Each structure stands twice: as C-alpha cells, then as structure tokens.
A and B are shown apart, each in its own frame.
Chain A
Amino acid sequence: MSATVDTKQETSGKPPRVSSRRLTERVFRIRESGIIAVLIVFVAITVSIEPRFASQQEVQFILANTTIFALLALGETMVIVSRNVDLSIGSVVGLSAYVSASLFGKIHGIPIVVVFLVGLGIGLAVGVANGIMVAIGRVPSLVVTLATLYIVRGLDILIVGGNEVVAQTLPNAFIEIPRAGVYGVPYLAIVIAVVIGIGAYYLRSYRSGRELYAIGSNPEAARLAGIPVGRRVFTAFAVSGAIAGVAGVLWAAQYQTVDSNAGTGYELTVIASVVVGGVAIFGGSGSAVGAAIGALLLQTINSALYVLGISPFWDQAIAGALLLAAITLDRIISLRLTAALRRRSAGVGT
C-alpha cells in the first residue's frame, strides 16, 4: 500500500512547503520506526520496574527464544510480501526437529552439519511441494499450505509414534549451539541477525527480491511487466520451507526434548510477528528486518510479563491486542497519508 502512495507522491506537484513536510512523512513512512519505539518504551518501563530484566541471563533467554521466530519470520516475510501465506512452517519445524534430532541416537558420531542439512532438506522438500502447487497448480496458498500443515504434522505423528527425543541422546556440542555466546548474546543470535540482514538486503536491493514486492502489489501488473511470477513465488515458498527446516533443527537444540507437538501453532505466532513488524498481510510492502523486530517484540513481551510477575495467562491476550493495534495503526497512517496527498494535489490543481 505504501508503495502506491510513494509513486503518487513523486508524480504530484511540488508546493513550496514540501521539504519540511517530507521529513515527517519520511519518518512516518519507515514502517519499522513505530515498532522500534514500542520496543524501546516497553523495555525501558520494564527495566525501571524490575532491573533484573536487563540482566545478561534474561537478555540471553529472550534472544535465544527470538532467534527461531525471527528466522521463521524471514521466510514468511518473503512469502507474504508476494501476497501469499505459508501456514505449513509450524509442522515443518516439528517434523524437522524430530527427524534431525533422532539421528543423533540412531547414528553415533554423526556430524552436526549433516543433521542441519537433513533438516534443511526436509524443509526444502515441503517448500518445493508448496511452491509447485501454488505457482504451477495456481491454487491459493492459504488452502495449499493449510493442507500441507495437516499432512506434514500427520507424517510427523506417524514417524514419532509414541517416542520422543530426550536430551541425553543429543551431543553437548549440539545443545550448546543456542547457548554459547559473548556477554549474553548467543553466537547463534548474531548469525541469525546476519542471515536476516542478508535476506532483507536481498529483498530490498536485488531485482528478484524487488519483484516479489511487485508481485504482491499487483500480481497481474507484475505478470504483464514480464516478471516471472510463478518462478518468484515458487522460490519464496522453497526458501520459506528450507528456513523452517533449519529452524526445526535449532528448535531441537534449544528445547532438547522433542515429541510430535514441536512447533504446533508456530505459523500463527510467526505471521503475527511479521504483521506486527509492519509487513502488509496482502503483500507489497514491509521488510524482513521489521518482521524480525516484530518477533523480538513479541518474545520480549512474553519475558517481561514473566519478570514483572504478571501471570503468563496474559501473554496471549496482549500479543493479540498488540497485533490488532499494529494493523489498525498502520491502516490509520496509510489513510492519513493518502488523504494528505490528495489534499496537496488538489491544492496544486487550483
């Protein structure tokens, strides 16, 4: 939506007082600025009430929890930006977590890299299947990924049976992955931040990344402009699946006990993070960095409620209310902007 506003502004005339206005508009238009402000205010209030919230242990806990969601949010952003949705990621996390973690028990001394590759492969396979059905079968992604959500979770349940992977079977080096770090910042969080940075840069600056936005803004126009819509959408789903596969392996390292419930319901939390982070649910705008900050905000709120001694029962209601507030605010801002622009071009006309 903001993309269309952008172009309108370029074509509208230039009244003399534009420059001062433009600055405020620009700040408003950085979709992430609102959520960063919320995050800062939220952390400041929490720390002033309970200084323990700023402790190294707490920060590490929040970051470790955020990594998985932020990573998933990157893949989901790619998909949502192209006006699609991937509901299967929670199930992929579950399947990948169990299959990869159980390898340690089955094959002694299996290299950790191989385990990650297996997880990635599982996710990629599901992502490719989703991509084929959406891009070539031209079936709505909501329906396709709702179906694969069920199918992959069903496969997971069949494979798991009544078993579970327990911490004792996992090597220390694997368990240490989300925990090792400097000054409370896990190395993993740094790696994920870099990955998200690369992803965001790709979406922002590469031609094929920009084309995802174009597809999301107006699929038909994108097609007429010669953008290979099918191929781009396919890639977005494949990447989202692969990312979910890797996130599943990380899930196993983080929580260590894996049964067939791993990752259940993650899809909606991730979509909530992405939308809170300023990615429009109907595609065409938003950034991967915003989505990651959205994930960070939701996890921070969870931890803050715990630290403040507020019943964890409030978590979900607050997350829901926040999501609603985010999309309402976004709507109001975009309406205001449109109205302001219309007023200005009317002023130029007379």
Chain B
Amino acid sequence: MSEPSLLTRPPEPEHGRRRALPTALHGAVRWETGLALVVVAIFAFGVAVSPDFLTTSNLFNLGVTSGEVAIMALPMTLIIISGEIDLSVASILGMSSALLGFLWARHWPMLLIFVMVALLGVVAGLFNGLMVTRVGLPSLAVTIGTLALYRGVALIILGSSTVSNFPAPYSTIGVLGVANSNLPWNVAIFAVLAVIFGVVLHFTATGRSIYAMGASPEAALYSGIRVKRIKLLLFVTSGLVCALAGVLWTFRLSTAVQNNGIGMELTVVAIVLLAGVSIFGGKGSIIGVVLAVLAFAGLQDALLLTNFNQEATGIVTGGLLLISVFVPTAGSVVARSREWFRARGHRAPSAIGAGHE
C-alpha cells in the first residue's frame, strides 16, 4: 500500500545509479561544493555587470526582497526530505497577510493579531498534515487543494480592499535593519531559523528520522519511527513559519492585499530543489538551501542591475533548476547509454537484453 512519495520516481536499475559516480569522487563533488562555486560565480558576475552590486544599499535590497521566500524554503526543505510536498505555502502567506490587515483595520491590538495569525498558520498546517497523515491522501493533491482554499479564504477575509496604515516600528522593516544596522529583519530571522532547522535536521534523532522516512517510508515505520506524527508536525511547522513570512511580507510592503505572494510556492520549491534536495525525499541539507537562496537572490539582483527584463528572470531560475537536476544525473545517463550499447553489442537479438537496458 505504499505509494511513491512523489510523482515519477524513475525506475532506475540500482547498479546504474551506483555506477554514476566513482566512489572516490563522491566526497569531492558534493552538491553543496558545486553550489558554493555557483554562488561565487554569480556574485562575481554581479560585480562585473555593475559597480553598484557590492554596495551596502544593494545588498540590503538583495536580502530584504528574498527574505520571505528564504524563510519559507526552510520548512519546505524538511517536508520534501520527508518525502512530501507543501504547495500551499504562498497561500498561507497570503491568508495570514489578509487576516493581519483585516484585524488591524478593525483596531485589534497588534500583539493579539500576531497570536491570531500564528494560530491561523498552525490551523492551516494542521489541516494539511491531517489530510496527509490521517486521511492518507497524497500531499501533492491535498496542498494543490489548500493552495486554492487558503487563497480563497484570503479573498473572503479581505475581498478587494487594501490595508496599509501600519504603525511605524512595523512598517519600516523593509527599509531599516535590525537595531539600525544594515541587516534586514527578515534576513536576521531567516538566519536564526536556518540555524534552528539546521540543528534539528542534522543533529537530532528527529532529523535523522526525517531522512529515513523520505528514503524509505516503510523501513522507517518498521524501525519504530513515528512517521505520521513527525510529518504532521512538519506541516504544522510549515504553516506557522509561513504565517510569520506573511507578517514580514505585509509589513515590508506596508500593504495587506489578498494576492500577497501569489504564485510564490513554485519559487520556494525551485530554491529547495536547486539546493540539491531530492524531490523523492531522503536527501538534502540546510547548508545547500542557504547557498541556493544566495544563488537565487544574487542572480535576481544582478539581473536587475543589468538591462535584462526583470520579470523574465524566470528563464534563469528555470535554467538553474534544469541544470540542478541534470548535472547529478548526467553521469548515470552516460553510464546507462554505455551499458545499453554494450548490451547491444553482446547480444543484439536478445529481447530480454534490450528490455533490461
């Protein structure tokens, strides 16, 4: 009864995969090492195209505009490693933003609003998690549904109105750093969360369990890991963190509208995949995600400084994403075709040989 965790796990013969990279190369060609080089290259490119790239104000901008995406990428990483996916993240962001605006327009005290928004995030995540773990539905389908549902709730809450009269300490987080430094608030929060998520994922038993259930759900279950409970917890965490991202987003732009962050779920997924996290689960690291965020933000910003059409940067995002999936499999594609030719040479007429590839 075990469904594959995500669409299309390619039916790859085991030996084909092992032959992909000689074991000696495994340590040296770690995904993160390559990604770090890419980040360096992107920043070099940024400096080359514009002297403004390495200025404080530009770096502040670079950070502040990608803070929320980066924050949402953290719980997404854990969820994808565990073998699931959450496509409702941007809708939870939008829904939180809508609730924040709605309550503020009704003169609720800000602290109480924060509690309500956090609660909304938890409930949204809990619903996703229960549908996946207790009803037993595929997370891809569930979160496509809640993507529409939560965005719809945002629409119902706020309609077509816009709330933008947020008070000063909150509304200035898009222009002022933490304690008047040059560190944007959302970047600081991302850094703190990255450390927490990194520790949980890499240095705790729970973290190891997340890898285990992504690599093999049944083996994880039979070795006594509470798969459902941990997955539920991951979805709830994702909901809460996305609600936080919604608050930051709203204050940074000083606007609560229902379509805040629309379509951002795919950007978040793209960053996580670029980080070397396997869409099938069981593989990936937080360092990779931090590097992917840097690569993504740096590239976006560098292209902004050139005359490249800003909205068309999706071409580069998509290109990076394709490269990120093809580079690690390039070896196995070569190995596979070599094997295929060898099989042909030895026993060309054998149907079994050809079928086996």
Contact = CB atoms under 8 A, between A and B. Distances in A.
B111 to A, nearest CB: 28
Contact of A144 (B6, B155, B325): B325
Contacts of A318: 152
Nearest to A323: B145
A320 B145 contact: yes
Contact of B8 (A87, A134, A153, A328): A134
B355 interface: yes
Contacts of B351: 226
A42 interface: no
Interface string A252-295: 00000000100011001001100100000111000000000000
Interface in A125-146: 133-134, 136-144, 146
Interface in A106-160: 133-134, 136-144, 146-151, 153-155, 157-158
A150 B332 CA distance: 26
B86 to A, nearest CB: 13
A153 B270 CA distance: 15
A315 B258 CA distance: 14
A232 interface: no
Interface centre among B148, B263, B269, B316 (most CB of A within 10 A): B148
Interface string B178-217: 0000000000000000000000000000000000000000
A157 B314 CA distance: 9
A25 interface: no
Contacts of A219: 8-11
Interface string B205-244: 0000000000000000000000000000000000000000
A314 B149 CA distance: 9
Interface in B1-56: 3-4, 6-12
Contacts of B151: 316-317, 320
Contact of A150 (B142, B160, B321): B321
Nearest to B333: A137
Contact of A83 (B8, B145, B317, B319): B8
B116 interface: no
Contact of A316 (B136, B155, B269, B279): B155
B315 interface: yes
Interface string B250-274: 0000000010001100100110010
B305 interface: no
- Describe A's contact surface by its main secondary structure: helix
Nearest to B262: A265
A108 B91 CA distance: 44
B341 to A, nearest CB: 15
A151 B148 contact: no
Contacts of A151: 314-315, 318-319, 322
A85 interface: yes
A313 interface: yes
B329 interface: yes
Given A275-B144, A320-B150, A226 B355 contact: yes
A264 B355 CA distance: 41
A184 to B, nearest CB: 29
- Describe B's contact surface by its main secondary structure: helix
A343 interface: no
A328 B316 CA distance: 38
A142 B11 contact: no
B108 interface: no
A317 B156 contact: yes
Contacts of A143: 273, 279, 321, 325
B62 interface: no
Sort chain B's interface into a size bin.
35 or more
A177 interface: no
A268 B136 contact: no
A142 to B, nearest CB: 5
A142 B144 contact: no
A327 interface: yes
A328 B135 contact: yes
Contacts of A157: 309, 311-312, 314
Contacts of B280: 140
B315 A158 contact: yes
Given A140-B10, A158-B309, A317-B148, A147 B141 contact: no
Contacts of A336: none
A151 B152 CA distance: 28
B266 A149 contact: yes
A319 interface: yes
Interface in B299-357: 309, 311-319, 321-322, 325-326, 329, 332-333, 351, 355
Interface of A: 83-85, 87, 133-134, 136-144, 146-151, 153-155, 157-158, 161, 219-220, 223-224, 226, 229, 260, 264-265, 268, 271-272, 275, 281-283, 311, 313-321, 323-324, 327-328, 331
Given A140-B6, A151-B318, A151-B319, 14 more contacts: A83-B7, A85-B8, A138-B333, A139-B329, A146-B269, A150-B321, A220-B11, A281-B7, A311-B156, A317-B149, A317-B151, A320-B152, A321-B152, A324-B149
24 contacts: A84-B7, A137-B326, A137-B329, A142-B7, A142-B140, A146-B266, A146-B270, A146-B318, A150-B314, A150-B317, A154-B313, A154-B318, A223-B355, A268-B148, A313-B160, A314-B152, A317-B156, A319-B152, A320-B147, A320-B152, A323-B149, A324-B142, A327-B137, A331-B136
